Chains A and B, each alone.
Chain A
């Protein structure tokens, strides 16, 4: 499975990789902001994108919309501490498949991975 982790916090990226360490096979790429994420996705497609919302250079809404424009089937999951109902709504409007609030619930990440694995198996 190919996963793109997008977060301006290196500790959060490290933690997500740590949470995913039992997934096999697994290929992880990282981006520090939305702009890097779009560039990375342009070069290569991913099965799942785990993306923060509040980031410098390009935020998660813009990056999500740009990735969906590149690939309408992209599976972008927003992971953010911004729990405003309108933030969730805007994420879905931007094309995200779902929204997970921080602090990250490891069980939700496991569910996402299981869903993605089932989807890939079809």
Chain B
């Protein structure tokens, strides 16, 4: 469990990660991406569906892209994307009124998942002074009720939740990134964030690499 200060610092690091992810996504789509501030919180795995229902509505259908990563930052990312109310993943790349085929929507969901998870985790790891290896992303759910999200495995596991919204020229695409970190990794993350905060606010200006911050 991260402290309030650690969570806020992690949120800012993720804000930077998402901001930098927006640029290649915008270039890919040829459109401007408006980001909402990412909100970071934690929830037990068993409560994840309820958490999503509160935000997306209980009748929502979702796409879920999963991708594992390791070693210091070790765990699994689950990107949950709203798959209705005109918020199709395909709509980020083309006019959603064109009526994408399932194959096109799957491709778009996987592409967005790959981009966002890679950018988010990769940039977070880089800022934390480590690197990550990934497994290939997989589409765990496609246009299914969000109640089908797998929360049975390790129901008490604490999930780090990053909630953000992408708006693309009238198309509202909402996504939620869950990070399931191993217990060792959560401990490593907390210690690393504390060390970085200490360095950021050190009084000694001659300290190493104070030039770049947050």
Residues of A at the B interface (CB closer than 8 Å) are: 8-12, 14-15, 18-19, 54-56, 80-87, 102-107
Give the size of the chain B interface in residues (CB under 8 angstroms). 28
B211 contacts the other chain (CB 8 A): yes
Chain B nearest CB, measured from A10 CB (Å): 6
Residues of B at the A interface (CB closer than 8 Å) are: 5, 8-9, 11-12, 15-20, 22-23, 26, 32-33, 35-37, 127, 197, 200-201, 210-214
Q: List A contacts of B201 (CB < 8 A).
A: 14-15, 18
11 A-B pairs (CB sep. < 8 Å):
A9-B12, A11-B5, A11-B8, A56-B36, A81-B15, A81-B19, A82-B35, A83-B23, A84-B22, A84-B26, A86-B32
| CA distance in complex: A56, B163 (Å) | 13
| CA distance in complex: A23, B127 (Å) | 28
Q: Is the CB of A105 within 8 A of B212?
A: yes
Q: Is the CB of B213 within 8 A of A54?
A: no
Chain A nearest CB, measured from B7 CB (Å): 10
Q: List A contacts of B214 (CB < 8 A).
A: 9, 11-12, 15, 102-104
Q: List A contacts of B197 (CB < 8 A).
A: 11
- Closest chain B residue, CB of each to CB of A33: B37
Q: Is the CB of A54 within 8 A of B35?
A: yes
Q: List A contacts of B35 (CB < 8 A).
A: 54, 82
Q: List B contacts of A10 (CB < 8 A).
A: 8
Q: List B contacts of A102 (CB < 8 A).
A: 15-16, 19, 214
Q: Is the CB of A15 within 8 A of B20?
A: no
Q: Is the CB of A56 within 8 A of B20?
A: no
Q: List A contacts of B23 (CB < 8 A).
A: 82-85
Q: Is the CB of B9 within 8 A of A106?
A: no
| CA distance in complex: A86, B23 (Å) | 9
- Closest chain B residue, CB of each to CB of A14: B201
| CA distance in complex: A10, B15 (Å) | 13
Most central of A8, A14, A102 by chain B CB within 10 Å: A102
Q: Is the CB of B37 within 8 A of A54?
A: yes
Q: Is the CB of A104 within 8 A of B37?
A: no
Chain A nearest CB, measured from B135 CB (Å): 27
Whether A19 contacts B213 in the complex (CB less than 8 A), given A11-B5, A54-B15, comes out as yes
| CA distance in complex: A9, B37 (Å) | 10
Q: List B contacts of A12 (CB < 8 A).
A: 12, 214
| CA distance in complex: A15, B17 (Å) | 18
From B9, B19, B213, contact of A80 by CB (8 A) = B19
Q: Is the CB of B26 within 8 A of A103?
A: no
From A8, A9, A56, A86, contact of B26 by CB (8 A) = A86
Chain B nearest CB, measured from A62 CB (Å): 12
Q: List A contacts of B17 (CB < 8 A).
A: 81
Q: List A contacts of B20 (CB < 8 A).
A: 81, 83
From A8, A56, A87, A106, contact of B213 by CB (8 A) = A106
Q: Is the CB of B19 within 8 A of A103?
A: no
| CA distance in complex: A102, B32 (Å) | 19
From B15, B18, B33, B127, contact of A9 by CB (8 A) = B15
